[in-house]
Structure 1
């Protein structure tokens, strides 16, 4: 659906002076890197504390975009006479105004979902339950923010019969704006938790803020057993149909009379409108049960029969809310997205593909199924798909499904087409792929997980999951503490604290990070080879690595006169001048660096030649996380400040200063100077007890290989150390000390997390296998086990071992596969 540009100007109240012929706008763009159809795009140059997206307007103009919304005009755009540039007070508000007007054009029922957890799962399960009755438009993935909501609502088309939208907030005042965009007719309050509580004065304030979504709703669905939520809804949603469900109150509109958990499924009995309705879901976790009851309530209110509901509930599929990046065979990298199949999610996946390899050295291949979740006619749909693939630089295309086969003429010559996944798997094509970046994108019914599995490099069943969205959230958590000019230096040394360097570096580069810091030159060289172009600091440069520093433009730390002289001679020998270096000051930690008494000689040697040029001067705080050491920390800062000033007076070019580490950013923000270094906090580990709001980045997981029933007289493991005091169920998990699991956690000192409960480790930890006691846990072979992550925090594990989180994270063996994903 297209909007005339004159209509756009009217909606946002911007002066309109036609510069060129009328444009039809079908794409609202907020991220310049996600450009697909420039001639139909309206770009919103959003300004934040960290960046002003109006700086991307010239580049987008060169790519063919001619319509822009910004908050101020720049003379840099004077030459772009064939453009429409709308100047508004607030770009995000303008985006929301356009989406709200689009929403007003449709009288279809809209389900609005809010809460702390479960929004995306409820949305996707509702889609699975209702897609046979309705043509549904829903939020892509977790598009529930101030910008995500309008982009989601923009997807409503004339043939949409039902819309399902998420709404998320993090602070007061946000919901009112996006509530006007969604304008739901039915509201769902999923669950209230502690997320973002630091931004609200009370728990009730957060609940009331979320309830603003339901102002236009006729019906509100909620868990009546959450007392604070129920009280607020009863008080503030008067006059609406309140469809609260309860496990305890038989008088509730929906009464959950029985829940029976089995080994791999759960039976739920509910009483609704005088009728008892039974259904089963293929999940046993409490969160899944709650989400399923929300969905069942909505389905019944929309008139789905109990028989249909019962059948479909058992067919609910897990919601893989993420794009996974996996190591593939023959040097390939696999992006696995068998989450859903629609044109919007394809655009998101292709954008993700483009950002994985900015150097474009790896040929890009896309394996795509028929797009089932679309109401467009096939010719128009697949013409658009072909254009998107071309714009993304896809070299090889594989189409699977009858519709793609029927429209093969729309795709480039050399594309492959198969009617079924089985036919493709039998073709042998997979074995010929080498050194490619491959996106596997398809509807679940095509069983594309088989393709992903066949492409993936096989290792054992223990993996380290890295949540790139959590990494970004932590980055922004600290970035918002800084003034705008302050540089952020992110530590990705030691293989990215065990998480893997490249994916983290690429994500941080895309986020606008100023510098990366690695331990040794070889780490930096590997990042350069994979397309990382941002400045890289090397913290421990070796004398033998000078050529690597020069070749890959890596900026070394200089901490001693010996290193300074050797590096200067090496640069002079190659005719290099003004090579950037970072001067390390020993302000009191006494590890590496020049002492205050060294400053005169340091200045003399730096002034004597032109080979090296100080880019920054820095020091390291010994105890910024410990309030008992605050006096010493201030001593260090004062010492460093004097040394930095002395150095700057002798060097004509500006030198930026940085002394704050992760704890320092939060506790000594006033000394951020021109730069800070973010380390352990980036990975979700709080550097001191008072730090809150961080998200878990790395989760070490495995699976249950086997479960055995043992009697009390039997023992478990080497040396018969695993004693049993009762009849027990013992599960074997394929992780051991060779994978980085510390042997001191054996014999019930440590535990793992299985299906919502903690399972103690029994007996000695072996090289490759560990046994856990699952006697009191409903579980089966093949179930997932968490060693550390959201449920067993790295800090908790470190405390048991008398060590620090750094050691836990960096101890995970390289044989453990890293799996990267975006939510």
Structure 2
């Protein structure tokens, strides 16, 4: 409570006994102090009583709130609202916000409206691919009880329905509770969160065995060293493994053993930066405007499943993929958000129906194929694409009467949205054409809506359009590469880098004047040069056009130019001016500096192509701050 010595008012959850008692003592030391509590457990001292029930469609939870104003001039009220998430940590954060808003005098209606834009707060966790189809959540530096509970909730979200959950846990140090209280509580959490195995490391944690359910899988090691010695006796397969430990136990060594040993080249995906970018774009939208986020092409190389899980936790209404199999992968990973399929194939209609995917319909021939499959009885949500000037895919004006006639005869096909694509929304040179596209879209969409029983959403604004044309946000917008911190236009200074591509130095050698480096002797050496070979090539996504000095990578905060041709699996760089370079050192291909835009410029292409060219063999490492 020393942090709050100079506070006049504290808002808190009454359901935590230790916190409640500490705040009660704090308040009694000075008469002017106020403590305003909330409770979901019916605590009698709470000014805000809340009843939480899960949403039937697994889209969050419903809250029924009763506010008994703690001051005479304030007004009591009762109201209901929806939270777009169901994990305990996010609910706790949100209810603190509700309590604060009520204390500030906001009405229930205003609070309900503002909560539509609330999103989760991420934790500093590393999520990595593990051995034998496992995923590893590494939080081996922090082991207080509250952080453990949050991490267990996070593990449940990541495990989905396809993986069992294992907790690797060290002694819990300096918690302020007895060992009996600590480990009895953790054993209860393991059961409640449906973990199936515990691997315990330490001395005090041995007490937990007596509180575990009969038959619970349990392994105990007094030291991390002993666990490492006997590691091969443990079998890990298709699990979500949460590693939580006090720093003294060095459980990161276990995380390294569990991590999938793949290519030395890695793509680090900063999920906190991705969440920041999402919120940056959300702030540009009206509360009633929905957001569809594109996760096609493996979420622009970032990994569609992990990105989709973050988006689902952060109040996104729709996802977009290119092909049905991308949507099926998301469904199999437990993603429940509506998914628009931009390039549906006739052979995938059955799969889309089975997995509740929603196809884009862009031509009469495709529509005829669809109704031949669905008839008048199979129900399917669809989205209509209009060609307003890009001339890629979409219905044109002459097709609309026949289109509407077919839809009127097949009410089982529900039109969820009508949309088009701006060809040049980020280029001021073509603003007149953008306005023309939007005008055409508005007219054509209205003609269709007039013939339908429902009023579909309209969307035409892409990443560039979100920033530059707020008048064309309509009922929904589509966010693409801007989510990943690139091509943000005037918004770019506010965006954060999501993807950082890294390699390592495999070997360093001295090459003398007159010798050459690489294929076809393209790297001509004019003077004695120190050459480092790094673990990335064009098969990983660093294309050959970057070779022969056209691009430089970052080593020890210094740019090192590429020498000779880029090879399939390796690239050579000049490190003569970097005396501290050593084999095994990390090399940044792109990230904060140099940027993906820098590489795209060297390749004479765009960031989209750079991101999507990253090979599947490049390991992805996810982390949150």
Q: Please tell me the TM-score bracket, short chain as reference.
A: 0.7 to 0.9
Q: Counterpart of 1:612?
A: 413
Matched, 1:505 2:511: no
- The aligned length equals 565
TM-score by length of 1: 0.64
Match of 2:402 in 1: 601
Give the superposition deviation at 1:647.
0.7
2:374 is matched with: 571
Q: Name the counterpart of 1:352.
A: 154
Relative contact order (alpha carbons < 8 A, sep ≥ 6): 1 or 2 greater? 2
Q: TM-score of the superposition, structure 2-length normalised?
A: 0.83
Task: Please state whether the residue corresponding to 1:650 is helix, strand or coil.
Answer: coil
Deviations 1:137-166 (A, max 9, x none): xxxxxxxxx9999x9xxxxxxxxxxxxxxx
Q: CA deviation at 1:425?
A: 3.0
Q: Is the 8 A contact 2:485 2:492 kept in 1?
A: no
Q: 2:246 aligns with which of 433, 443, 453?
A: 443
**Structure 1 residue 548: deviation in Å?**
0.5
C-alpha distance 438-74 of structure 1, shift in aligned 2 (>3 A): same
Question: CA contact under 8 A between 1:662 and 1:679: conserved in structure 2?
Answer: yes
Q: Distance in 2 between matches of 1:5 and 1:607?
A: 65
Where does residue 57 of structure 1 map in the other structure? Answer: 63
Say which SS state the counterpart of residue 539 (structure 2) adopts.
helix
Pairing 1:579-658 to 2, within 5 Å after superposition: 579-658=380-459
Secondary structure of 2:183's counterpart equals: helix
Q: Is the 8 A contact 1:582 1:615 kept in 2?
A: yes
CA RMSD across the alignment: 3.6
The aligned residue for residue 20 of structure 2 is 3
- Asked if 2 retains the 8 angstrom alpha-carbon contact of 1:325 and 1:334, the reply is yes
- Equivalent in 533, 549, 554 of residue 748 of structure 1: 549
Cα pair 2:68 2:76 within 8 Å, conserved? no
588, 592, 598: which is aligned to 1:786? 588
The separation in 2 between residues aligned to 1:468 and 1:89, in whole angstroms, is 23
1:71 touches 1:89 (CA, 8 Å); kept in 2? Answer: no
Q: In the alignment, which of 192, 211, 223 is matched to residue 420 of structure 1? A: 223
Structure 2 counterparts to residues 797-816 of structure 1, below 5 A = 797-816=599-618
Q: Is the 8 A contact 2:125 2:138 kept in 1?
A: yes
Q: Which runs of 5+ in 2 are unaligned?
A: 1-17, 53-58, 82-94, 105-117
* Equivalent pair of 1:624/1:664 in contact (CA under 8 Å): yes
SS in structure 2 of the partner of residue 744 of structure 1: helix
Query: 1:68: how far off?
Result: 12
**Equivalent residue for 2:359, pick from 556, 564, 568:** 556
Q: Secondary structure at the residue paired with 1:692?
A: helix
Per-residue CA distance 1:455-506 (angstroms, 9 max, x = gap):
2221111011111111111111111101111110000001111111100111
1:204-234, Cα deviation, whole Å (9 max, x unpaired): xxxxxxxxxxxxxxxxxxxxxxxxxxxxxxx
Question: Is the CA contact 1:710–1:727 (under 8 Å) kept in the aligned structure 2?
Answer: yes
CA distance in 2, matches of 1:493, 1:814: 14
Cα distance in 1 between the residues matched to 2:271 and 2:492: 20
Shift of 1:382: 2.4
Which of 254, 269, 284 is the matching residue for 1:466? 269
Moved more, 529-538 or 765-774: 765-774
The 1:14–1:449 alpha-carbon spacing in structure 2 relative to 1, beyond 3 Å, is closer
Check if 1:341 corresponds to 2:126.
no
Deviation string for 1:641-676 (max 9, x for gaps)? Answer: 001111111101121100000000000011100000
Sort the Cα spacing of 1:520 and 1:645 in 2 relative to 1 into closer, same or farther, 3 A.
same
Confirm or deny: 8 A CA contact 2:119 2:313 kept in the other structure.
no
Q: Is the 8 A contact 2:67 2:78 kept in 1?
A: no
| Counterpart Cα distance in 2 of 1:460 and 1:338 | 24
| Partner residue in 2 for 1:92 | 100
**What secondary structure is seen at the aligned counterpart in 1 of 2:439?**
helix
1:736 to 533, 537, 556: 537
Deviates more, 1:651-660 or 1:363-372: 363-372
Aligned residue among 530, 537, 555 for 2:340: 537
Check conservation: 1:4, 1:22, Cα contact below 8 A: no
Q: Which consecutive residues of structure 1, in runs of 5 or more, have no partner in the other structure?
A: 26-40, 46-52, 78-86, 97-145, 152-320
Distance, in Å, in 2 between the alignment partners of 1:519 and 1:496 is 10
